[in-house]
Each structure stands twice: as structure tokens, then as C-alpha cells.
Amino acid sequence: MVYAIATPPPSRRASFSKDKRVCDVRSDTFTEPTDDMYEMMKNASRGDDVYGEDTSTLHLETKVADLCKKQAALFCATGTMTNQIALRAALFQPPHSILCDHRSHVYLWEAGGIAYHSQAQVTPVIPKNGHHLILQDIQKAIIPPLSGLTAPTKVISLENTLNGTIMPLQDLAEISAFARQRGIWMHCDGARLWHVVAATGVPIHEWVQYFDSISLCLSKGMGAPIGSILVGGKDFIAKARDLRKLFGGGWRQSGGLAHVAEWTLSNVWPQLPATHAMATRLAEGLQAQGVRITTPVETNMVFIDTAPIGVHITDLAVYLADKGVRLGGSSPTEARLVIHYQIEPWAIDAIIDAVQALKH
């Protein structure tokens, strides 16, 4: 799904002073580094991470590994990098395949990286319940190892959250038990797993215990300028570190970025329940105006269809730009609105008021 087509041209974009910042609901990737973050970077270590000598980076990796109760972690530039490194590290010689939800980021939005990096076939599965994959979906879609005939399933990749929805622990446990009986690697694209913890109150280690590798984004929603972190066993992370270098991701003085990323764990993560509350209020307000909510609002995302009230997303985006809110869309009447910690309550009111003003 593309989220930028409804952005108004520069001539129609609002200009606001710092006391009323533009609120961008196109994605939680639009969080902006603060002045305090740049000041914080000055206090970080300045060692070389390729040589394993940067203490701020090592401290972040150790902290996240400990939170997850895993052996090791690896700080990288992006979630696409941590996902693709993880999948490549889990796979050996083709033929092999990766099973995932048909809406998965690793399948749709990583530039075909699975085929390019891992020479793997993908088995995209549509969940029968429409919400998340369950064991029965996996059992039906799994590809067995039949010599000379198949690309057997070697990895199951699950995303949590997926489109803002939460995959329940019980289903993760059942799928993981099934996979481990068959020697199938379990990978979690947990770019927004922080939101799962914030919404449920269940510690992060309980969610990741069912996976061999976990990708956690520290930029999306968490507010760090750059960075995702890959978590897993010691040998796996050692291999992932070699692959990171191969991918061109062996950065040097990463301490400043790591220091800020760690700061978000204590300062932004606790704010996520408030973003969920705003997302729920937004969904309820839009629904009251006749907008169709197309996906359950369980964390920070609101998927809308404005066709029932005759409003085009482009018109809504132009109207909101003058109010200081930036909106994107995936079709003339469909859009994804993503709430993050820098979205302010007035922006929620502005979106609801705009729909009311424009609806037919």
C-alpha cells in the first residue's frame, strides 16, 4: 500500500511556526529528531562499531538483548536491513522458501529482498480469519521437503503488529511449537512490537520467546532518528554481523545514534499507550461521521474508507494541509492514519472536523 499520493503540492502545504508544529499522520516514520536528541549525541561514545569498540552501541545491544532474554543483538540502520539479514542468516542453500502473511512487510515492501539476497521462494498466506495467521493456516500452506520437487519451507516469518493489529500469544505459541518440531526457523518482524507490549502489558520477552530471530525498529513510532536492532542467539548474531558488513551496513561511529535509540526505550516507549488512545478516539470520531474503519484499531493505526460519505482523500489532504495536518492515501477514498508520540490532540480534532466539513 502506498501512502503518499494524497500529499498536496508544495504550494498548498501549510507553513507553521515552531509553537504549532505540523502533525504528519502519513506514517510513524515521520517522527522528527528533537534538539535534545542532538544534544544527547554529544555525550555518546565515539568508537568504531565495526571493530566492536563503541560502548554506546554495545550498551544498547546488551540492553535490548536482556529485555528480550536473548543472547545477543545487532544495531543496524533500518528494519529492512535487520529483516533481510535475519532471513539470509537463517537460510543456507536453495531450494528453500519463506512462509509469511500475504500483507507482510518482508514480502511487499522490501524491494524484493528475499529473492535478491536469499534466493528464496515466498509462500504468502491469506489468514482465514482475516486478522492473523493461525496454526491451521500454516499447516495448510507449509511446503514439505520432497527431493527434486519443492522449495521446502525453512522459515516462518510473522509480523507483530501487522497493520496495527496484534497477533495473540496463544497463536504464536502454537505455530512456534509446530515449526520447531520440523526444524523450521521462526522470525519475527517486530518493527512495532513495542506497541504490542504497550497495548497488552505483557513483557517483550514473552512475545519473542517463540522466535529464533527478532527485528525491532527504534525509529518507527519510537522516535529515534535512525535504527533497528536484530536480536537472537550468540552464533546467529555473529553470522548476522558478517552479513551486515556484506550488505554495506558496517557503520563506524554509531554511538550517537545508539545513545538516542536507547533513550527512546525509557522516554518514548512509555508514551505509546497515549498514542493508542488517540488512535481509538480518532477512529470513533470518524466512524461517527460515517467513515468506514476497514481494520480493527488495536494500537496506533487507523485505516479508513471515505467512500460512504463521498469524500476524496486528496480533497481531505488539501483541506487538512491548511490546518497543519499532513495526510496520505492509497486510493481515492482509502487511507492509513498513523498516530505517534509527536501527534498532538488538536490534530485528531482537526481530522474529525475536516471530514465533517467535507462530507456530502
List, for residues 241-252, the tens digit of each pLDDT value: 999 999 999 999
- Predicted confidence (pLDDT) per residue in 305-330, tens digit: 999 999 999 999 999 999 999 999 87
Q: What CATH number has the domain spanning 35-269?
A: 3.40.640.10
Q: What is the pLDDT of residue 3?
A: 40
148 or 100, greater pLDDT:
100
Residue carrying the nine cell digits 507483530: 160
Q: Please name every residue paired with 291 in a beta bridge, in sequence order, or none if there are none.
A: none
Using alpha carbons only, give the angle 125, 197, 270 rounded to the nearest 5 degrees. Answer: 140
- Predicted confidence (pLDDT) per residue in 96-108, tens digit: 999 999 999 999 9
Q: What is the pLDDT of residue 217?
A: 98
Q: What is the pLDDT of residue 329?
A: 83
Average pLDDT of the chain is: 94
Position 161, amino acid: T
- Predicted confidence (pLDDT) per residue in 217-260, tens digit: 999 999 999 999 999 999 999 999 999 999 999 999 999 999 99
Please tell me the distance from the alpha carbon of residue 84 to that of residue 88, in angstroms, as a whole number. Answer: 6
Q: By the 8 A CB rule, do 278 and 291 touch?
A: no
Q: What's the pTM value of the predicted model, to 2 decimals?
A: 0.94
CATH number for 23-32+271-358: choose from 3.10.620.30, 3.10.129.10, 3.40.640.10, 3.90.1150.10.
3.90.1150.10
Taking 90 as the threshold, does the pLDDT of residue 181 lie above it?
A: yes
pLDDT band at residue 6 using 50, 70 and 90 as cut-offs? very low
Please tell me the distance from the alpha carbon of residue 41 to that of residue 56, in angstroms, as a whole number. Answer: 10
Q: Classify residue 162 by its DSSP letter.
A: B
From the list 300, 317, 329, 322, the residue with the least C-alpha distance to 355 is 317
Please tell me the distance from the alpha carbon of residue 300 to that of residue 234, in angstroms, as a whole number. Answer: 33
Q: What is the pLDDT of residue 13?
A: 35
The mean pLDDT of 154-174, rounded to a whole number, is: 98
pLDDT band at residue 56 using 50, 70 and 90 as cut-offs? very high
Q: Report the share of the chain in percent with pLDDT over 70.
A: 94
Alpha carbon distances (Å) from 305 to 6, 23, 287, 340: 14, 21, 10, 21
Please tell me the distance from the alpha carbon of residue 218 to that of residue 12, in angstroms, as a whole number. Answer: 32
The mean pLDDT of 64-78, rounded to a whole number, is: 98
Q: What is the pLDDT of residue 19?
A: 52
Q: Classify residue 7 by its DSSP letter.
A: P
Where in the chain are the domains?
Answer: 23-32+271-358, 35-269
Taking 80 as the threshold, does the pLDDT of residue 10 lie above it?
A: no
From the list 180, 154, 161, 158, the residue with the least C-alpha distance to 88 is 154
Q: What is the pLDDT of residue 148?
A: 86
The mean pLDDT of 140-152, rounded to a whole number, is: 94
Q: What is the pLDDT of residue 7?
A: 41
